Amino acid sequence: MLSLRQRAWISGGLSALVSMAVGILLLYSFLNQRESDRFDRALTERHTQAVVALSYAADDPARLAELLFDPQYQTPFSGRYWQVTSPKGQVFASGSLLGASLPGGNRAAASLVLQDAANPDVDEVRIAAQRITLEDGNAWVVAVAESLAQLKADRRDLRQSLGAAFALVAVIGLASVLFQTAAIVRPLNRLRRDVARRWDRDEALSAAEYPEEVAPLVGDINTLLERNREIVSRSRRQAADLAHALKTPSAILRNELSVLADGKQDMGKALDALDRVDAQLARSLARLRTANTGEAAQAKTDLSRSVQRFQRLFGMMAEREGKTLSVACEPGLVVRMDAQDIEEVLGNLLDNALKWCRARLSLEVRRAKGGIEVIVEDDGPGIPAADRAEAVRSGARLDTSKPGTGLGLAIASDLLQAYGAGMVLEDSPGLGGLAVRITLPSRGVRGPKKG
Amino acid sequence: MRILLAEDELVLCDQIKKLLVAEGRIVDIANDGQEACFLGTTEPYDMIILDLGLPVRDGLSVLREWRSAGVATPVLILTARDGWSDRVDGLDAGADDYLTKPFHLPELAARVRATLRRSSGRSNPLFQLGGVAFDTRHGRATLDGVPVDLTSQEVAVLSYLIHNSGRLISRTELSEHIYEYDGDRDSNTIAVFINRLRKKLGPELIQTVRGRGYMIDAA
């Protein structure tokens, strides 16, 4: 599909071309006609002079050269000629003919005839010729001619200057098309920027700020943005409600089973089944969350602030376990992710590191090529390279010696994938345990499309 | 030690209360946010267990109100919301710990003990003074290594005095921390409990400051 700009250029270019061609054609034929008329009038004028001169000098035609005084009649082959033929066929001619004769200059009708003619001596000329019958009854043929070379040169000049003028007009026309296109497309470009900006700020677009042709579109976009936001928040609320509705009864059931187990009844199978239910519940809820995130919830989050929040939480949790959390984070980092999603990622990674570390864990957040890099390291046992792919698979638990659903890394990985971000498990160079390295889409950098 | 349990699920309330009472705690129950807010602001609890998904008022706003009103009681948040953002929100609102449903009761009991210990500044769950040893984890006492049988009210009195060891506790304060909200408060019966404890654990453990109250020396 052609862009609006392309459409404007093509239609503007075509209309400029057509109007230029028509303009040149009309103007050229008009000016050409005028030039030819002027030429013919001058030629007729000269013919009249020749006729007048003849009426004085019919007795002594040799005097004609004196009476028709024009330097160009004297200059050889100047392009301006006259030729008079006596009733007896004797020819008198201007000096410029140098004894040559005009093509068809001996025959003529009783009325004045103007026509183009040519011969090798004088090239192309326009001849005005007439048979004149004097008072004594003798019929003379009077012809004057003018070379067409000058007329042709003038026409060529005219064509060239017309072409130049219209080329200038065309350039101005195209420039104005560009300008108009820009002016028309500007509100649309602004709309696009505004949609991205206002979405982040949770604001609606104001239709009054746009031209009336675009305003209905703005209204539609508002409705869409609103609906999109509503869908995301509704499905999150549903997930939360579902979590609440299922987890409390599950807690009650677990507690009752524990009481029975304490009463020496074998509740092992029932408790195992409940563990499976809980794990499946946690997994499904995590999936539900991931399904409603990514591009659907395009938002920006102050990552530095989230890191501070988690520094407080995990600093406290680590301290209670006699462990140390060190945090290094550049200020003012913004990621193109929903706040809950990035915090879910951070929480799961830190929780995992805290669970497995011996004494120290660290969180480092910094600007890097292609976004913002987050590295969580610990001094725990790490994960062998061969098992790393398995560790990020949903529900896989490599080691069941620590409590938990085994979903932490998998949830983080799923969430990151929804944003087109990746997660790499490595050996920690500083602490010796596991290092989880992720690169988040930062502000202004759009993540790849989902799916 | 007197604990406020704010939870709307009655069966779960019952289970948690049983667990805590078995450890010698006094438990008040609030079934909605408004009631929880009122009790937490007006009663001197040693700890509050707060469900975030309470009806009428949500737990987080109740917690914020307590903290802005200067209520410093340690709060353990109990919730079905297991998102990390929710946990940090809870902590930022002034919670001391966080437990997500479904949880194991022993885990809750351990968190409650740890929270109470932290708030009293004690790091050791075992209290030892003279021949008397008291395990705050399950409220069991021994005298010279021999287990002593204590009633739940005796455990409540002893436990409060030990958590506040080194500090003089008035009869009124003691009664506020060992009776339920709608319980029959009679500060005279406190003297009865103290006497029984002295008979069971020896006369030196609890000192009486005449007209002012009781005290156990810091171990």
pLDDT in tens, A205-239: 777 888 888 888 888 888 887 887 788 778 777 77
Residues of A in contact with B138 (CB under 8 A): none
Residue in chain B closest to A275 (alpha carbons) equals B102
What confidence score (pLDDT) does residue A182 get? 87
B35 and B131 inside one domain: no
Of B87, B120, B153, which residue constitutes the final position of a domain?
B120
In whole angstroms, give the CA distance from residue B63 to residue B40.
Answer: 9
Give tens-digit pLDDT for A116-149: 888 888 888 999 999 988 888 888 999 999 999 8
Give tens-digit pLDDT for B130-180: 888 988 777 789 998 899 998 888 888 898 898 888 889 988 888 888 888
B107 and B9 inside one domain: yes
Amino acid, single-letter form, for residue A123? D
In whole angstroms, give the CA distance from residue A442 to residue B97.
Answer: 32
| 3-state secondary structure at position B63 | helix
What confidence score (pLDDT) does residue A445 get? 39
CB-nearest partner of A247 from B80, B83, B114: B80
What confidence score (pLDDT) does residue A446 get? 42
B85 and B12 inside one domain: yes
Residues of A in contact with B114 (CB under 8 A): 320
Q: What's the token pair of residue B123?
A: 């790091």
Give tens-digit pLDDT for A159-169: 899 889 888 88
Answer whether B200's CB lies under 8 Å from B150's CB: yes
Answer whether B141's CB lies under 8 Å from B149's CB: no
B141 and B155 inside one domain: yes
User: Over 60: is that where the pLDDT of A249 sits?
Assistant: yes
What confidence score (pLDDT) does residue A189 get? 84
Give, for B213, the enclosing helix (H) or strand (E). strand B213-216
User: Over 50: is that where the pLDDT of A444 sits?
Assistant: no
CB-nearest partner of A252 from B11, B100, B106: B11
User: Over 90: is that where the pLDDT of B63 sits?
Assistant: yes
Give tens-digit pLDDT for B66-83: 999 988 899 999 888 778
Point out the least confidently predicted range of A29-43, A54-68, A168-182, A227-241: A227-241
Query: CB distance A248–B9 less than 8 Å?
Result: yes
What confidence score (pLDDT) does residue A437 get? 92
Which pTM does this prediction carry? 0.61
What confidence score (pLDDT) does residue A448 get? 40
Query: CB distance B84–A247 less than 8 Å?
Result: no
pLDDT above 90: percentage of residues in chain A: 19
Query: CB distance B83–A278 less than 8 Å?
Result: no
CATH topology of domain A4-154: Beta-Lactamase (3.30.450)
A200 vs A13, more confident: A13
Query: CB distance A256–B12 less than 8 Å?
Result: no
Query: CB distance B84–A347 less than 8 Å?
Result: yes
**What does the pLDDT average to over A267-272?**
84
What confidence score (pLDDT) does residue A294 get? 58
Q: What are the phi and psi torsion angles at A109 (to 5°)?
A: -90, 175
What confidence score (pLDDT) does residue A59 get? 84
Q: Give how far A263 is from chain B: nearest CA, Å.
A: 15
B177 and B152 inside one domain: yes
User: Over 60: is that where the pLDDT of A451 sits?
Assistant: no
B169 and B109 inside one domain: no
Chain B residues contacting A via beta carbons under 8 Å? 9, 11-12, 15, 53, 80-85, 87-88, 91-92, 100-106, 114, 118
The total domain count for chain B is: 2
Point out the least confidently predicted range of A335-339, A411-415, A441-445: A441-445
- Are β-strands A360-368 and A324-329 bridged in parallel, bridged antiparallel, or unpaired? parallel
User: Over 90: is that where the pLDDT of B62 sits?
Assistant: yes
Question: What are the start-end ranges of the E strands in B80-168?
Answer: 97-100, 126-129, 132-135, 140-143, 146-148
B136 and B66 inside one domain: no
B137 and B177 inside one domain: yes
What is the overall mean pLDDT for chain B? 87
Q: Give how far B74 is from chain A: nearest CA, Å.
A: 14
B107 and B131 inside one domain: no
User: Over 80: is that where the pLDDT of A17 sits?
Assistant: yes
**What does the pLDDT average to over A35-51?**
92
Q: Give how far B148 is from chain A: nearest CA, Å.
A: 23
B100 vs A407, more confident: B100
pLDDT above 90: percentage of residues in chain B: 28
**Domain membership of residue B138 as a residue range:** 126-216
- Other Cβ atoms less than 10 A from the Cβ of B11: the count is 15
B16 band by pLDDT with thresholds 50, 70 and 90 = very high
- Other Cβ atoms less than 10 A from the Cβ of A354: the count is 18
Residue in chain A closest to B86 (alpha carbons) equals A340
**What does the pLDDT average to over A285-294?**
71
A435 band by pLDDT with thresholds 50, 70 and 90 = very high
| 3-state secondary structure at position A186 | helix
Q: Give how far B81 is from chain A: nearest CA, Å.
A: 7
Residues of B in contact with A316 (CB under 8 A): 91
Half-sphere exposure of A119 (CA within 13 A, CB side): 12
What confidence score (pLDDT) does residue A280 get? 80
Residue in chain A closest to B95 (alpha carbons) equals A313
User: Over 90: is that where the pLDDT of B39 sits?
Assistant: yes
B93 and B156 inside one domain: no
Q: Give how far B102 is from chain A: nearest CA, Å.
A: 4
What confidence score (pLDDT) does residue A30 get? 93
Q: Give how far A268 is from chain B: nearest CA, Å.
A: 14
CATH of domain A297-451: 3.30.565.10
Give tens-digit pLDDT for A84-115: 988 888 888 888 888 888 887 777 788 888 98
CB-nearest partner of B105 from A255, A274, A282: A255
Of B96, B120, B144, which residue constitutes the final position of a domain?
B120
Residue B98 belongs to domain with CATH number: 3.40.50.2300
What confidence score (pLDDT) does residue A346 get? 92
Could you tell me how many CB contacts below 8 A there are between chain A and chain B? Answer: 76
User: Over 90: is that where the pLDDT of A151 sits?
Assistant: no
**What does the pLDDT average to over A303-314?**
91
B18 and B101 inside one domain: yes
What confidence score (pLDDT) does residue A328 get? 92
Residues of A in contact with B87 (CB under 8 A): 313, 347
B82 and B11 inside one domain: yes
Residues of A in contact with B59 (CB under 8 A): none
What confidence score (pLDDT) does residue A295 get? 56
Query: CB distance A252–B81 less than 8 Å?
Result: no
What confidence score (pLDDT) does residue B65 get? 93
| 3-state secondary structure at position A113 | strand
Write the DSSP assignment of A284-301 as a string of letters.
Answer: HHHHHHHHT-GGGG---E
- Best of A241, A247, A303, A341 to mutate (most B CBs within 10 Å, chain B): A247
A234 vs B45, more confident: B45
Query: CB distance A248–B88 less than 8 Å?
Result: no
Q: What is the DSSP letter of A446?
A: P
CB-nearest partner of B15 from A255, A313, A340: A255
Q: Give how far A388 is from chain B: nearest CA, Å.
A: 24
Number of H-type helices and E-type strands within chain A: 10, 12
What is the overall mean pLDDT for chain A? 83
Q: What's the token pair of residue A142?
A: 């009077």
Query: CB distance B88–A250 less than 8 Å?
Result: no
Asked if the bond preceding A211 is cis, omega within 30° of 0, the reply is no
Of B70, B86, B120, which residue constitutes the final position of a domain?
B120
